[in-house]
Amino acid sequence: MAKKITTDVSTVVDITARRNDSFYIKTTLTQEDGSLYNVVSNSGAVYTAHFEIYNSNSARVLSFLSEASPTNNSTVNSVIDVDSDSSALTIDVPAINMTIREGSYKYKFYIKSDNVDNDTNTIMTGKFKVVDI
């Protein structure tokens, strides 16, 4: 008798964005049963939200963070907000940061706690398509 267990709680959502346009997403994070996704642990750990875009070679080409951190060419800081009370996710990236080339990519959105064991939960994954003109 075959048994199956999965610990993957992520939802597959495909996204299309336009190159050189502002990128804005607002949604409420819910679980399969419709309940709100708990982005804060019972221990009260602080979480950082990450939205990372990868090319076909699995190299990260662009990432967005919820906090300010050391800046590099492919990371845009302080553009993600996850409300711990309502599980509302907002990603608001200025057009100046959306210069990624037209094409098909993959992405993952995850939260990572700042506690000692760095608990990480991937919430959404999928295709990230960039269109131009």
pLDDT in tens, 30-39: 777 888 877 6
Residues of the domain holding 97: 11-131
> Token pair of 19, please?
């190159």
Within a domain: 1:
no
Residue 66 belongs to some domain of the structure:
yes
Q: Give domain status of residue 3, yes or no.
A: no
For residue 85, tell me if it sits in a domain: yes
Q: For 49-61, write each residue's pLDDT tens digit.
A: 899 999 999 999 9
Would you state the pLDDT for residue 116?
A: 67
Residues 6+ apart with CB under 8 A from 5: none
- CB count within 10 Å of CB 117 equals 7
Please tell me the predicted confidence (pLDDT) of residue 53: 96
Residue 41 pLDDT exceeds 60: no
Q: Is 89 inside a domain boundary?
A: yes
4 in a structural domain: no
Total number of domains in the chain: 1
68 within domain boundaries: yes
Q: Is residue 62 part of a domain?
A: yes
Residue 1 is predicted with a pLDDT of: 63
Q: What is the CATH number of the domain that holds 70?
A: 2.60.40.10
For 126, phi then psi, to 5°, come to: 155, -165
